[in-house]
Amino acid sequence: MSFDSLGLSAEILRAVSEQGYSEPTPVQKQAIPLILEGRDLLAGAQTGTGKTAGFTLPLLQLLSQRPGKSARKPRALVLTPTRELAAQIGENVEAYGRHLSLKSTVIFGGVKINPQIDRLRRGVDILVATPGRLLDHVGQKTLDLSAVEILVLDEADRMLDMGFIHDIKKVLALLPRKRQNLLFSATYNSTIRQLADGLLDNPAQVEVAQRNTTAERVSQRVHPVDKARKRELLSWLIGDGEWRQVLVFTRTKHGANRLAEQLGKDGISAAAIHGNKSQGARTKALAGFKQGDIRVLVATDIAARGLDIDQLPHVVNYELPNVPEDYVHRIGRTGRAGREGEAVSLVCVDEHKLLRDIEKLLKKPIPSQVIEGFEPDPSIPAEPIQMGRGSRNGGQRNGGRNGGGRPRHAGQARGQGGNGSRKGAGRERGGNQRRSRAA
């Protein structure tokens, strides 16, 4: 099947071709015709499958086919959890809508609001936003959502995971009752189902991969190692394997900063990216990583859904995530759109339960290999993992002003809340409320 058979306009097909794509991915094949029919949609697909173009292409088509009631108010709203993902979706909208007369813009926190206000005043058809900054604009009366015809909740599970449920409900109350709703999520749980039941009207369902599974082309393995020797082992793996581009995940912002600094002392160029970094610093680090100037990008989970690195070969879990589903999101940064990738987890004795939880979610064990010279000391006892601020046990919601979100208000619950391949457009460019994480 080619894009020509999906009912897209000549202008959009031209833009898709200019991006170098010829064949749609499975989620695009299924989702695009349903969205063009005007159906509500509940779509489940693992990361890296082209979900972004799966809703961007038909959204552009629908809006270009019918006149808007207002030249200034947004007609389509795409809500997404992180700045990086919002920016990347905005890039998709611009790339695929380049031959159309539609206007789009992206708004998120962590940057000055006045330039965003200026763009909104000039009028916009498609608005991509993080929930917190969106409500900031509504509160300042610089944004009117009364003309929205299409709502997209992208990475819905991640938004609920980060505690955005209250903001999402506030946004829904501002939208017209009659609209088309599209909900995209990499993983499902009972809260996602509840949200879908309340949001979607007789939705079509698309699921192109088994729920909560990792990409088949991602080779996974565990290296048992003492906590104190993780950094040493990571440096050895990078050097011995001649890894040139490695995305490494830590649990905390401080841990990301410290690891990047330590790797630098080992002679390995590294940078950290997390919610406390300014948008300029995050953009610069990501650009350096994509260009090969930075060999290792150390990230917290805020980056797990927003990063799109072409043909990223290696992902390392320097520390296992506190929530098993985040493992799926993390390693989904590699092995995208049919490419092969490698996911390595450095696991100390403290993390054995976290590893069992991940394997239970995956319904299979992850192969384990002890590296000679880095054998764990069996006499070291397991210690409780320090969850830190924003963990399961409480703390402020991940995201905050820097992550495109909002500080939790009094009364809200604490602690709750085709890349690379030229087949398939829409590289992904960059209600589970069990906890909110430091990121």
Is the pLDDT assigned to residue 121 strictly greater than 50? yes
253 and 175 in a common domain: no
Evaluate whether residue 412 is within a structural domain. Answer: no
51 and 131 in a common domain: yes
**What's the length of the chain?**
439
Q: Helices 26-36 and 51-65 sit at what angle, rounded to 10 degrees?
A: 20
Evaluate whether residue 24 is within a structural domain. Answer: yes
18 and 85 in a common domain: yes
pLDDT score for 301: 80
pLDDT score for 31: 95
Boundaries of domain holding 229: 218-362
Torsion region of 209: left, alpha or beta (phi above 0 gives left; psi -120 to 50 gives alpha): beta
Evaluate whether residue 254 is within a structural domain. Answer: yes
pLDDT score for 429: 37
203 and 70 in a common domain: yes
Our CA dihedral for 114, 158, 327, 31, rounded to 10 degrees, sits at: -110
Evaluate whether residue 45 is within a structural domain. Answer: yes
pLDDT score for 416: 33
Which of 202-211, 284-293, 359-368, 385-394 is most confident?
A: 359-368
Evaluate whether residue 391 is within a structural domain. Answer: no
- Parallel, antiparallel or unpaired: strands 314-317 and 341-347: parallel
pLDDT score for 333: 78
Which band of pLDDT confidence, cut at 50, 70 and 90, is reported for residue 277? confident
Residues 81, 186: contact at Cβ < 8 Å?
no
Which of 287-291, 292-296, 392-396 is most confident?
A: 292-296
The separation between the first and the last C-alpha atoms of the chain, rounded to the nearest angstrom, is 41
Which of 362, 396, 411 is at the close of a domain?
Answer: 362
153 and 231 in a common domain: no
Which band of pLDDT confidence, cut at 50, 70 and 90, is reported for residue 412? very low
pLDDT score for 214: 53
237 and 198 in a common domain: no
Evaluate whether residue 403 is within a structural domain. Answer: no
Q: How many domains does the chain have?
A: 2
Evaluate whether residue 47 is within a structural domain. Answer: yes
Residue 21 sits in a domain whose CATH number is: 3.40.50.300
Evaluate whether residue 324 is within a structural domain. Answer: yes
Instruction: Give the pTM.
Output: 0.63
Which strand ranges, in their side-by-side order, compose the sheet holding 314-317? 218-224, 341-347, 314-317, 246-249, 296-299, 270-273
Lowest mean pLDDT among 125-139, 272-286, 369-383: 272-286
Condensed to tens digits (0 to 9), the pLDDT of residues 15-38 reads 999 988 888 988 899 999 999 999
**What is the chain's alpha carbon radius of gyration, rounded to the nearest angstrom?**
21
Which of 334, 362, 390 is at the close of a domain?
Answer: 362
